[in-house]
Structure formats: C-alpha cells, structure tokens
Structure 1
Amino acid sequence: MTKVVNHERTSPVTDTGRCLDTVQLEGLERSFRSWAEASKRPDTKLSRRRILLIFLLIRYTGARLNEVLNLDPLTEIDFKSHIVHLKKGTDETDRAYRVVEVSEALSSEIKRLLDVQQLKQTPGGVFRIDPGHVRRKFYERAEACGIPRELGAPDAIRRSRAVELIQGNMPLPVVQKILGHSTPNLAASYLEFSDEEIHNAVRFFVDRENQRKTSARNAFFGKINQIQKGDIQAIVEIVALGGHRISAVITNHSLARLGLKRGTLVMAEVKAPWVMIYKGDEEPRTTAENIFCGSVHRISNGKITTEVVVRISDSMELCSVITEKGRKMLDIHENDTVWIAFNASTVVLHVD
C-alpha cells in the first residue's frame, strides 16, 4: 500500500488564482530555454539569451522588471557567494540595495551565459532593453506553453515567486524583505528577523528547491492533476515538472487526513527495487500503471544485484535494482532503449 508522509504546513492561505504554480513556472522556464537555443543565428541567439537571463532573475529572485533592467550583472552579482544585489533606482549614488540569494547552480548558469564577449560589450549594459519588448517576449512564451498571456507578465511571475516561497513555508516577513515589500500587517510587524536568520531561511529554501531539480532520483515533484475515489482507496494522478504523469494509490482516509486535492504540490517517490525494467522498442504488456521509455545511462554491476540508471528525459533519471543474472538474461547495456515500469501501489507521496 502506498505510504504517505506529511510535513506540517505553516504557510498562510494564499490566493493563487492570479499567479502560476511551481509546475507552470517550470513549464514556462522550459519554454524560455528551448526558445533561447532554437535560433541558428548568433545575433538572435544572443538576444534571446538576454531575455532568458531576465526571466531567470525575476523567476528566482522575485525582482521587479525595472530592477533587473537596471542591474549590472558583472558587478552586482556575487558569483562566489551566489548573491544578487538589487536596487529600484537608476541613480548611481543610490546604494539602497537589497540582497537576494540564489542557488549555486543558477549562479553558475548566469555566469556562463554572461561569459560571452559580445554580451559584455553590449552598448548601455547587458539588460538595457526596452521594457515593452521584454513584456512582449514574456507574453509570447506564456502563450506558447498554454498559459494565459497576463500570467506570463513579469509582475505575475514576481507574484508567483512570492506565493511559491510562502507555500514553501518561508516566513512571511522574510518573503516581504526578499521582494522589497514593507511589512504587510501589524501582526507581522512584531516578528523581526536578523540578517543571519534571513540568510539561513533563504539558504534552506534555495537548497531544498535546487535538490528537487538535481538530486532527487526516482522522485517526481509536481502537482495533483486528478483524484479518483473508490470505496476504500483512491487513485491520485500527479503531473511532474517534466510533464510526466505518475499514478499513486492511497487510502481515502489518508486523502481526507492530508487534505489532498487537485493542485496540491507533492513529491512522488518509488524505491529502486520496485522499479521493473523491460528491453525492447515496443511498450511492454504489463499491469503496472506507470510506464516510461528511456535509454540506459549507467550500469553499476555487482555480483548479486546490479543498479541500472535509465534517463527518461534531460532532467529525470530512474534507477532500477535487478539481479545481475536478470541483467545478463535481458542483455541490457548502456545506451540501450528500455522501458521502466512500477505499480501505483509502490509510490510514496511526500507532502510539504
């Protein structure tokens, strides 16, 4: 039977109707990335990468569009400490910065994208772009992945980041300081955080967020798309960040106790011994509800058991532990096309 892990939520109720959830934000990010690399013309690709950089900064710092356009990334991003210094005004004497931390992975990517001589020599600065042009490109990317254009606006993405932080249990006053807001209400004004406490809270969230993307093997982070209730148990369908659909079976009691509903963000995990592997070009005939096609990325051979890592997308790998005798019988080698399958009853749901 599927296990369910519940971690206590402390975030306030937030109206998410006017913003994107994490899965939609990830879809929008993929849209920007593929668009930025699609052009074969060097000048067009360079221009698109500038827009991608603006999106990534708004997406992960919650910055205002004008703050990013006024940013000098070569001097106001600390790539060693992974910190972005943001300010509202254009006045060079205005040193009223606010500091926002980003993940090491994002910091490295921004540095790599900026490490282009033509970009460094851009007249007026890397981000000196017409705001109207930036907004139009944001609208285009949103519509390209099925998102209403108004939800692809820079301010909507900034608002979505705020909701994402709050739903991730980051203290509301910390979120306010990150986004450069004044204290939202009198009750919150009694709760003060030192700079060190803010740093620790943000670093914890950024590390956890990055871990979801880079190190969670056999784990799908996404949102509940559909729930089918039976007499005793329910089938829960999750749409993961990469678009994969995973089915899990839990009891109706767990469903009610956790308050799971369509749109709830969850982590779906399956242990490697429960993951079955099939070789062949055609989808296998199996009763397993979750089936994915991929290529063998790595094999770690043992005397008794062997670990087979299968890449089902650029950002997702699944691991299967089988006997070495079974691997030889199936004649599985690296780069082979294989099918990965696991039952819905073996999926563990984790809820923040």
Structure 2
Amino acid sequence: MAITPYQTLPLVGTKPIQYLTEIQTNALVQVFQEWYDKSPTKAKGRIRGRYWLTFLVLRFTGARIGEVLGIDDRTDIDFRNGEIKLVTLKRHNSRRRNSTRIIPVPASVISEIATYLAEFPEQRGRVFKLDQGNFRRVFYERAKEADIPKDLAHPHILRHTRAIELLRAGVPVTIVQDLLGHSALTTTAVYLRISGQEAKGILREKGLV
C-alpha cells in the first residue's frame, strides 16, 4: 500500500483525525534523538535532555502534553516496573477530573530517564517542568527537520498516532481507553475507523479485490 504524506481518519465533527505514519514517527524520533545527542556542550545537553525525555514520554504514553509536563520524576516514575503515573486532566465527569492512571512504557524510555538523572542529578524533580510554549516551539523545529507537514507539527499528533498504533497492534479498545484517559469509550472507538483508501489497500494486500 502506498505511503501517503500523512493519513487521516473519517470526519469527527468538522475535523478529521490526523496521525503520523510509522515512517514519519520513526523519522521524528531519530531527529529528536540526534538533536539531543549532538548537544555542543554539557550545559546544552542538560537542557535538551529534558525536551528529549518529554518527547519520548509523549510518544510512548499517548498522553496530553499538560499531563506529561505535570510528571514529578521523583514520585511518578516506577523505574523497576517500567511505569509512569499521570494525572488525567480532562474528564467529562467532574468527580474523576483529578484521577490518575498508570502507563507502562518501553524499558528504553525508563533507561533514558535514569541515564539522564544519573548524569544530571541536580535536575531531579524538575525534568518535565518545561514551559509548554517552549516545548511546542522545539517540537515544531524538530518536526520540520523530519519533513513532517506543518499542520501535523504539534505534540497532540503523537496522541492520535499512539492510539492508532495500539489498536492496530490488537490492544483491546477498553485498554486503550484507560491508557489514553478517555472518559467515554465512544471517544476511543473513533480511532477504530479507517479511511476508504486504506480499506482498499488492505483488501488488495489480502488478495480480496
């Protein structure tokens, strides 16, 4: 199936849900990592490392940017079990507005955080305490380097991308709902839809058309 510059799901309300392809996602990860690895000085590495770690957690949790920026690396990261605790910021049910959820993340993400803190122990407790506007600017710059279309160059695209990735890997929709912190299953179920073009490609791959 041909890879399009980006893919969209059917309309929800007035806007389609857009997400990155696997190739685009990998390119963005690579560009972000190279930007951090090539820090010209240790001081720059200390600063860039916080953006790199924030990006990684966004990419592998599908969390909202405000949720990730609210992480306290001293209390919210379980290094032994590879889990991160997030405070769910957006709930339709006001009684659950301040609920928390536990998100398993790859061992490589936990390792990156641990390595950074070992090198910069003075950053403990403030790794993710970035200004949201500054993070968006850095994200946009890296996305541009990775040839991500301008209208997709925002942190929330990683949330849509992670949802699609999980569902296509066969993760039950109810689990994806919990991981993303959706208050209603119908919100998560939107990601189950596929476009007509994509459906045609799948049928061709299976030899059904």
Give the TM bin, normalised by the shorter chain: 0.7 to 0.9
Rounded to whole Å, the distance in 2 between the matches of 1:257 and 1:154 is 32
Aligned to 1:340: none
Rounded to whole Å, the distance in 2 between the matches of 1:185 and 1:145 is 33
Aligned to 1:137: 138
Any residues of structure 2 matched to 1:1-352 within 5 Å, and which? 14-15=9-10, 18-88=18-88, 96-115=99-118, 116-120=120-124, 125-185=126-186, 256=204, 258=206
Q: CA 1:39/1:166 → structure 2, altered by over 3 Å: closer, same or farther? A: same
Residue identity matched to 1:258: K
Superposed displacement of residue 114, structure 1: 2.3
- Of stretches 94-103 and 30-39 in structure 1, the one that deviates more from structure 2 is 94-103
Identity of aligned residues (%): 35
Rounded to whole Å, the distance in 1 between the matches of 2:39 and 2:61 is 27
Larger radius of gyration: 1
Length, aligned pairs only: 176
Aligned to 2:93: none
Superposed displacement of residue 257, structure 1: 5.5
Secondary structure of 1:73's match? Answer: coil
Rounded to whole Å, the distance in 2 between the matches of 1:68 and 1:76 is 10
- Structure showing greater relative contact order (alpha-carbon pairs closer than 8 Å, 6 or more residues apart): 2
Rounded to whole Å, the distance in 2 between the matches of 1:165 and 1:131 is 26
Q: CA 1:47/1:114 → structure 2, altered by over 3 Å: closer, same or farther? A: same
Superposed displacement of residue 17, structure 1: 6.4
Superposed displacement of residue 39, structure 1: 2.1
Rounded to whole Å, the distance in 1 between the matches of 2:69 and 2:205 is 46
Residue identity matched to 2:18: R
> What TM-score comes out, normalization by structure 1 length?
0.46
Rounded to whole Å, the distance in 2 between the matches of 1:101 and 1:257 is 32
Cα-to-partner distance string for 1:184-218 (whole Å, 9 max, x where unaligned): 339x7xxxxxxxxxxxxxxxxxxxxxxxxxxxxxx
Instruction: From the two aligned structures, give the one with the greater helix fraction.
Output: 2
Structure 2: gaps spanning 5 or more residues: 1-7, 11-15, 90-96, 190-200
Structure 1 residue ranges, 4+ long, deviating more than 4 angstroms after superposition: 13-17
Cα-to-partner distance string for 1:37-94 (whole Å, 9 max, x where unaligned): 21222211111110000000000011111111110012111011111000045xxxx9
Q: CA 1:102/1:259 → structure 2, altered by over 3 Å: closer, same or farther? A: farther
Contact 2:51 2:135 in 1 (8 A): yes
Residue identity matched to 1:87: V
Rounded to whole Å, the distance in 2 between the matches of 1:147 and 1:257 is 27
Structure 1: gaps spanning 5 or more residues: 1-12, 189-226, 228-254, 261-352
Rounded to whole Å, the distance in 2 between the matches of 1:109 and 1:143 is 24
> What TM-score comes out, normalization by structure 2 length?
0.75
Rounded to whole Å, the distance in 2 between the matches of 1:42 and 1:134 is 20
Cα-to-partner distance string for 1:199-240 (whole Å, 9 max, x where unaligned): xxxxxxxxxxxxxxxxxxxxxxxxxxxx9xxxxxxxxxxxxx
